[in-house]
Chain A
């Protein structure tokens, strides 16, 4: 499956980035909650991020499919810049990307700066991923890893 990157704004008032934008590896995904046999969520945009150990989603997405967020396994989430950590709650969900469905344990957080983050456990360990910058827009090619 090949997906084009999506454009994303840079800060307007920053001389480094003024009136520029970034092509970003953003995928349209859905999540569902097999424990409740929920239908998949509305589609939403999630960032592909190899720096993230897990997949994370905005709590709103989970609540929309019937997850009681605070009942999950509690942990904390911080960023690369020092600052306050925020609580995150892990639940077993299914991630829908194109025609692929992956079961994973994902964190839900009220203050995530994006709708979703696709990290190493759950996303990168299930696909061979080719980041291809040779076209405009660049593209992302995913090949599912099938394990016996």
Chain B
């Protein structure tokens, strides 16, 4: 299983998340898009990519 999957499953649901650059762990998490990005920058990520976790990990049709 890719480390990214493990990191995402450990993240809070229904939240904005930024992973580390190697996608092995969570660098910032929260409910506000911009605040989470700033927290990630403060934690050393130069260009944070924001991911929205779902309300649950149900297999989903978009």
The interface of chain A, by Cβ under 8 A from chain B, is 6-12, 14, 17, 19-21, 28, 42-45, 47, 49, 51-52, 58, 60-61, 63-64, 79-81, 112-115, 117
Q: How many A-B pairs with Cβ below 8 Å? A: 77
Question: B2: which of A21, A47, A52, A60 is its contact (CB, 8 Å)?
Answer: A21
Contact B8 A8, beta carbon cutoff 8 Å: yes
Interface size class of B (residues with CB under 8 A): 20 to 34
A42 contact set on B, CB distance < 8 A: 33-34, 37, 48-50
Is the contact region of chain A dominated by helix, strand, or loop, or is it mixed?
A: loop
Kindly report which residue of chain B lies nearest to residue A114, judged by CB atoms: B52
The interface of chain B, by Cβ under 8 A from chain A, is 1-2, 4-5, 8-9, 16, 32-34, 37, 47-52, 54-62
Query: What are the 3 closest A-B residue pairs judged by CB atoms, nearest first?
Result: A115-B52, A60-B33, A44-B50
Kindly report which residue of chain A lies nearest to residue B36, judged by CB atoms: A42
B5 contact set on A, CB distance < 8 A: 7-9, 21
If the complex has contacts A9-B8, A11-B57, A21-B1, are A114 and B48 also in contact, measured as CB distance less than 8 A?
no
Contact A9 B9, beta carbon cutoff 8 Å: yes
Contact B33 A43, beta carbon cutoff 8 Å: no
Sampled A-B contacts (7; CB under 8 Å): A7-B2, A11-B58, A42-B50, A45-B49, A58-B52, A64-B34, A113-B55
A20 contact set on B, CB distance < 8 A: 1
Q: A7-B2, A45-B50 are in contact. List 20 more A-B contacts (CB 8 A).
A: A7-B1, A7-B4, A11-B58, A12-B57, A19-B1, A21-B1, A21-B5, A42-B33, A42-B34, A42-B49, A43-B50, A44-B50, A45-B51, A47-B62, A49-B62, A51-B61, A64-B33, A113-B54, A114-B54, A115-B52
